[in-house]
């Protein structure tokens, strides 16, 4: 293999000049490329390389301390552990809020009066958040628990004057229907592959159904029979808009830009 007398480097067999300094190289025909034929003891090479790599890795591992992270062990913790943590934080903050409100009420008035309402509200809000976290991804159980929590909350509010007025006749059927509509809408959104204006239309229609139901429940309780009053006017506005949105979606869904274009 030819050498460059100027740079001292080996060159290609057929090189006539050095690619580094441009010096002319006399060509020797018998020069052969030995690079491909040279093999060294493999164990020796591996040891040398391991020395190089291991030194770096050991240094790095010594410096590593997982508690240095702002969000330590996030990746190493299980989902259950993360949820427990979040639940713990929420529980503590809610308990502090309830205690503060009750204490302020007691200091100001010498007895617990108005603080019952915010305390109940915070407690049931905690129940709802806890149900979402505890029944993580079990949407049916979450909704059931949310329904029971809200109903419990409404009954509690109703019973503040020590008798049940409206919670059974009004709140229970309206709430049950709302939860049922939201459950159906949730499953529709989950099953829909091409999401867009169609979902908005479904939610509008869901809202319209809820209006009908509220109208009917109020009329049954006040007039004693099924009667549709104001909700039909809601439907006159909502149904055409929903149909228009569904038309737009199914006509242009694949041509309209997605979230990817507008992601901030």
Residue 201 touching another protein (CB under 8 A): no
For the CB of residue 128, give the shortest distance to another protein in the complex, in Å: 16
> Which residues lie below 8 Å from residue 160, measured CB to CB, with a gap of 6+?
116, 117
Find, among 40, 130, 55, 147, the residue nearest to 90 by Cα. 130
What is the Cα–Cα distance from 203 to 239, expressed in whole angstroms? 11
Residue 20 touching another protein (CB under 8 A): yes
**Residue 154 token pair:** 């409404």
What is the Cα–Cα distance from 211 to 218, expressed in whole angstroms? 11
What is the Cα–Cα distance from 39 to 22, expressed in whole angstroms? 31
For the CB of residue 63, give the shortest distance to another protein in the complex, in Å: 5
The set of long-range contacts for 130-138, using a CB threshold of 8 Å and a minimum separation of 24, is: 130/87, 130/90, 130/91, 133/83, 133/86, 133/87, 133/90, 134/83, 134/87, 136/79, 136/83
Residue 240 touching another protein (CB under 8 A): no
Residue 190 touching another protein (CB under 8 A): no
**Residue 143 token pair:** 């909704």
Closer residue to another protein, CB minimum distance, 35 or 107: 35
Closer residue to another protein, CB minimum distance, 39 or 162: 39
- Stretches 49-57, 136-144, 164-172, 208-216: which one binds another protein (CB under 8 A)? 49-57
Residue 89 touching another protein (CB under 8 A): yes
Residue 66 touching another protein (CB under 8 A): yes
Using the rule CB under 8 A, which residue among 26, 44, 162, 191 binds another protein? 44
Closer residue to another protein, CB minimum distance, 119 or 201: 201
For the CB of residue 68, give the shortest distance to another protein in the complex, in Å: 7
Residue 252 touching another protein (CB under 8 A): no
What is the Cα–Cα distance from 228 to 220, expressed in whole angstroms? 10
φ, ψ of residue 124 in degrees (nearest 5): -75, -30
Using the rule CB under 8 A, which residue among 101, 149, 171, 196 binds another protein? 196
Residue 95 touching another protein (CB under 8 A): no
φ, ψ of residue 160 in degrees (nearest 5): -65, -30
Residues that bind another protein (CB under 8 A): 1, 4, 7-12, 15, 18-21, 35-36, 38-40, 42, 44-45, 48-49, 51-53, 55-57, 59-60, 63-78, 81-82, 84-86, 88-89, 193-196, 253-254, 258-264
């Amino acid at each position: 293999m030819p050498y460059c007398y100027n740079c001292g480097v080996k060159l290609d067999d057929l090189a006539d000049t050095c690619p580094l300094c441009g010096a002319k190289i006399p060509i020797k025909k018998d020069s052969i490329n030995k690079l491909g034929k040279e093999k060294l003891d493999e164990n020796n090479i591996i040891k040398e390389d391991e020395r190089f790599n291991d030194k770096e890795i050991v240094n790095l591992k010594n410096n590593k301390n997982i508690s240095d992270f702002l969000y330590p062990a996030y990746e190493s913790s299980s989902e259950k552990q993360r949820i427990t943590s979040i639940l713990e934080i929420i529980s503590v903050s809610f308990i502090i809020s309830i205690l503060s409100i009750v204490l302020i009420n007691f200091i100001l008035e010498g007895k617990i009066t108005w603080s019952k309402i915010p305390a109940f509200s915070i407690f049931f809000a905690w129940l709802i958040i806890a149900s979402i976290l505890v029944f993580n991804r079990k949407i049916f159980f979450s909704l059931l628990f949310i329904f029971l929590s809200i109903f419990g909350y409404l009954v509690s509010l109703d019973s503040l004057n020590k008798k049940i007025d409206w919670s059974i006749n009004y709140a229970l059927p309206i709430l049950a229907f709302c939860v049922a509509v939201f459950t159906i809408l949730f499953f529709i959104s989950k099953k829909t592959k091409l999401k867009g204006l169609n979902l908005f239309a479904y939610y509008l229609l869901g809202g319209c159904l809820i209006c009908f139901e509220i109208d009917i429940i109020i009329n049954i309780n006040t007039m004693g029979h099924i009667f549709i009053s104001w909700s039909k006017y809601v439907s006159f506005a909502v149904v055409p808009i929903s149909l228009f949105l569904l038309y737009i979606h199914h006509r242009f869904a694949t041509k309209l830009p997605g979230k990817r274009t507008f992601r901030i």
